[in-house]
Amino acid sequence: MIPVLKVQRPLPATVFIGLTVGLLDGAAAVISSFARSGVTPDKVFKYISSAVLGKAAYSGGGEIVALGVLLHFAVAYIWGLIFFTAYPRVRLLQQNKWLVGCAYGLFVWLMMNLVVLRFTLVPKLKFSWEGAAMGWGIHMLCVGIPIVLITHYWYRKP
C-alpha cells in the first residue's frame, strides 16, 4: 500500500502554482509570439479570449485582453490543480522531478492542442514543427517543471 501524502493547506499551494505558471507561461507566450511573428501581447490574449468569443474577440478592446488574461490564469490553475491532486496518489509523479516536470509539460501541451482547443472557438493555426518544438520547450520549462517543483516542495515542507 502506498502511503498517501497529506498537505495542510492545499488552497494556498494551488493558487501559488496557478499564479507562478500563469506568469511564466504567459510571459513565454508573449515573448515567443513577438519574436517569431511580431505578434503583440494584446493579440496573444485576444487569441485566448477567442476560445469563448470566436473571431469577435479580435475586434474587442481592453476588456477582451483582460478576459484572455483571466482565462489563461484559470487554465494554468486547473493544470496545477490536476497535478497537485494526483501527486500524493500516483507514486510515479513523485520520482525524478525534472523528468516528471518535462513529461507533464509535454502532456499539458498535447492535451491543450489535441483535445481542449478542439472544443473551443479559437481559429485553427497552421501546424509547424518549429512552433510545436517551441511549445514543447515552453510547456516543459514554464508549466511542467514549475508545477512539479512547487508541488514537491509543498508536500515535503515541514
Name the pTM for this structure.
0.91
pLDDT in tens, 49-79: 999 999 999 999 999 999 999 999 999 999 9
How would residue 10 be classed by pLDDT, with cut points 50, 70 and 90?
confident
Residue 1 pLDDT: 42
Q: Is 61 left (phi over 0), alpha (psi -120 to 50) or beta?
A: beta
pLDDT above 70: residue 7? no
What mean pLDDT do residues 117-124 have? 94
The answer to whether 25 touches 139, Cβ cutoff 8 Å, is yes
More confident residue, 5 or 95: 95
Decide: residue 141, CB within 10 A, 0-12 exposed, 13-18 middle, 19+ buried: middle
